[in-house]
Amino acid sequence: MKIKLAASYGFCFGVKRAIKIAENTKNASTIGPLIHNNEEINRLRENFNVKTLHHISEAEGVGKAIIRTHGIPKKDLETLLNSDVQVINATCPYVTKPQEICEKMSMEGYEIVIFGDADHPEVKGVESYAIHGAHVVQSVEELEKVRFKGNKIAVVSQTTRKISEFLEITNFLETRYKEVRVFNTICNATFENQDAARELAKEADVVIVIGGKNSSNTKQLHSICKEYCKDSFLVESEKDLDPSWFVGKTLCGVTAGASTPDWIIEKIVGKISEIKV
C-alpha cells in the first residue's frame, strides 16, 4: 500500500516558519504564545528551552526574544529593539503585510478600517501601525456606527476571516465613500488544506485525517474527505489506527488539521507504513 500526503496539510506556512525559527534560536523567550497550540509550545519549552512570556515587561534581561506569528504592537517592538534584548522576528509575513499597509495608508491620509476581532493579538498588532488609530469592525452593523472624518478610507482584513464577509464590508464602504482602497489581506492557508484534502480523497481508497477530535478545522477536513472517499477516518494518535481499515487498499491518503504538529503526523505515518495489508 502506498502512502500519500496531501499537497497541503497541518500547520500553515507561518506557523511552520515560526517553529523552525524557535528551534534554531533555542534558549529564547517569546512575547505571548508563539502559536496557538499548547502541545507544541510545551515541546519547544522542553526540548529547546523556549519560554513564553505573558507581557513585554517580563522581557527585560531575557537575552533573546522571539516575536510571535501574530505579531505584537509597534511600540512593544520598538521597546524591545531599543533594549539589550536580541530580537528575532517570527511574525508571519502575511501578518506583516497589513501592518505595513496600515502604516503607509494612514501616513497618506487614509482612515483605516480593519475587518477583524479587536481583541485578537494579530488585530491589536495591525491596529497599532495605523498612526491615527483604526476602526476595527466585525460586521456591516458595526461599520454603520462609525463616523468617518473624510472620504478617504483604506480597508484591510484579519488574515483568517471569510472573504464573503470581507466583501460585505468593502461593498458597504465603496458604495458610500469617494475613495476606498481595498487590500485583501486574507490568508488562504485553511482553504489550501481543504482543497488538497479533497484532491487526495478523490484518488485514495482510504484516508487518515490526523487531528484533535474536538478541532472544528479537523472535523471539517474529515467530512470533506468522507464525501469523496467513504473510508476516511479521523485519528488523534497512532493508538486510534485500526489495521482492518487498510485491508485490500492500495493508496492511503494522509492529511492533518491546522493545529497538528509535524511530529505527530510523522509518528502516525510511520505506524501506518508498518501495518501489513
Binding site for ligand F3S (CB under 6 A): 12-15, 69, 92, 94-95, 159-160, 187, 189
The side-by-side arrangement of strands in the sheet containing 251-256 is: 2-5, 251-256, 206-210, 232-235
Catalytic residue among 23, 122, 144, 203: 122
Say if residue 12 carries a ligand binding annotation.
yes
Say if residue 222 carries a ligand binding annotation.
no
Say if residue 70 carries a ligand binding annotation.
yes
DSSP character for 112? E
Nearest CB to ligand F3S, comparing residues 106 and 159: 159
Say if residue 69 carries a ligand binding annotation.
no
Least spacing, CB of residue 184 vs ligand F3S, in Å: 13
Least spacing, CB of residue 211 vs ligand F3S, in Å: 15
DSSP character for 68? P
Alpha-carbon distance 60 to 11, whole Å? 31
Say if residue 55 carries a ligand binding annotation.
no
Which of helix, strand or coil describes residue 33?
coil
- Asked if residues 90 and 18 have their Cβ atoms less than 8 Å apart, the reply is yes
For the record, the C-alpha cell of 5 comes out as 500526503
Nearest CB to ligand F3S, comparing residues 111 and 122: 122
- H/E stretch holding 156 reads strand 152-157
* Residue number of the CB atom closest to ligand F3S: 14
What values do phi and psi take at 210, rounded to 5? Answer: -100, 130
Residue 122 designated active-site: yes
**What is the end-to-end Cα distance of the chain in Å, rounded?**
7
Least spacing, CB of residue 157 vs ligand F3S, in Å: 11
For the record, the C-alpha cell of 61 comes out as 534581561
Say if residue 225 carries a ligand binding annotation.
no
Virtual torsion, Cα 272, 275, 276, 277, nearest 10 deg: -50
Nearest CB to ligand F3S, comparing residues 101 and 187: 187
Nearest CB to ligand F3S, comparing residues 83 and 160: 160
For the record, the C-alpha cell of 32 comes out as 505571548
Least spacing, CB of residue 88 vs ligand F3S, in Å: 16
Say which residues have a Cβ less than 8 Å from residue 63's Cβ, sequence separation at least 6: 27, 28, 29, 85, 86
**Amino acid identity, residue 151?**
N
Least spacing, CB of residue 90 vs ligand F3S, in Å: 10
Catalytic residues: 122
Residue list, annotated binding site: 12, 36, 70, 92, 120, 159, 187, 215-217, 259
